[in-house]
Amino acid sequence: MQKDLTDLMQALGVKFQNIDTLRQALVHRSYLNEHPKFELAHNERLEFLGDAVLELVVTENLYGNYPNPEGELTNWRASLVNGDRLADVGLTLTLEDYLYLSRGEKKDVGGKARRYILANAMEAVIGAIYLDLGWDDAKSFIERHILSLLPMILESKEYIDPKSRFQEASQEHVGITPSYKVMDEEGPDHAKVFTVAVYLGKDKIAQGTGSSKQEAQIDAARAGVEAKGW
């Protein structure tokens, strides 16, 4: 079923010449499994293109506007282009309402898999803008919706990775270095999910999940910062 993308283009602030270029950016691979005769391909090639455009626009902007050392700029860029950030931007732009998903994927509203799909779709949309309208329009879109978040990121120090943030804050507030403990691991070897808890002394503060112990620790640290209000 074709979707009316007029409102989405208004939210994006972009008028596509070829509406199917935008439409393709919204097609998840799972949709084609159920609709093999759908006239468009999935969005993974556009995602590949958009990822490169996003990285270059953000890098060019940071390099041209900030005299900071390479390490700091790298952290700032990572905070701007990571999957969680892109998923949040996608939600703000109502991208979720327009995705072409399988029936199974549609049920995972608000889940991690949906956020992953949203982040990839955001990259695909950027790729679609670049392909349909060129560099200047893609750059303008990224400046409006992603680079505009930099002042907030710098003020809140979100560019510091969650484990470092939680460790610095816990040492400052309670004089304790956090420790992490694997609480559970499930799933086959190729698709394990780890659950890790973060402790301050003997007190369990929060827990997180991830496809690796490191990813689960980062998720737990992020939850710990939120739990403590740091």
Residue 49: partners with Cβ closer than 8 Å, 6 or more residues away: 126, 127, 130, 131
Distance between CA atoms of residues 47 and 43, nearest Å: 6
How long, in residues, is the chain? 230
- Is 229 exposed, middle or buried, given 0-12, 13-18 or 19+ CB atoms closer than 10 A? exposed
Distance between CA atoms of residues 61 and 140, nearest Å: 11
Instruction: Mark whether 70 is an active-site residue.
Output: no
Asked whether the beta carbons of 70 and 63 are under 8 A apart, the reply is no
Instruction: Mark whether 123 is an active-site residue.
Output: yes
- Is 152 exposed, middle or buried, given 0-12, 13-18 or 19+ CB atoms closer than 10 A? exposed
Choosing from 47, 96, 105, 123, the catalytic residue is 123
Tokens, residue 111 = 């889940």
Q: What positions carry a catalytic annotation?
A: 51, 123
